């Protein structure tokens, strides 16, 4: 297996003064998260997505990570991206898109 370079980086993550975790999805727009775990999953979404383009399929572990990210995106009303991550999860399992 060859080593690949990762160009995607996690989104900026911070903890506000009141202890709430936030993720910056675009410059200056912070998404307030319910938990630190939610924030970390959202923050890591670009990395997981990039892995879905560079992975050899089928890859069940990657499919699970893509679905987990899709669920968090859906929970935070980021529907289009949620559906996209779900479609990448199907592809990671070797399923055909319908």
Residue 89, burial from CB neighbour count under 10 angstroms (0-12, 13-18, 19+): buried
> Does 94 fall in a domain?
yes
Q: Helix, strand or coil for residue 17?
A: coil
- Structural domain count of the chain: 1
pLDDT tens, position by position, 23-72: 999 888 999 999 999 999 999 999 999 999 999 889 999 999 999 999 99
pLDDT for the residue 1: 36
> Does 64 fall in a domain?
yes
> Does 68 fall in a domain?
yes
Which positions ≥6 away from 86 have C-beta within 8 Å?
66, 67, 70
> Does 19 fall in a domain?
no
Note down the domain range covering 76: 35-98
């Amino acid at each position: 297996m060859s080593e690949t370079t990762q160009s995607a980086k996690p989104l900026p993550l911070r903890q506000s003064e009141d202890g709430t975790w936030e993720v910056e999805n675009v410059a200056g727009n912070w998404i307030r998260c319910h938990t630190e775990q939610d924030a970390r999953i959202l923050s890591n979404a670009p990395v997981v997505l990039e892995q879905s383009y560079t992975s050899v399929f089928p890859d069940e572990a990657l499919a699970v990570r893509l679905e987990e990210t899709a669920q968090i995106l859906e929970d935070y009303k980021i529907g289009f991206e949620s559906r996209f991550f779900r479609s990448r999860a199907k592809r990671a399992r070797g399923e055909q898109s319908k």
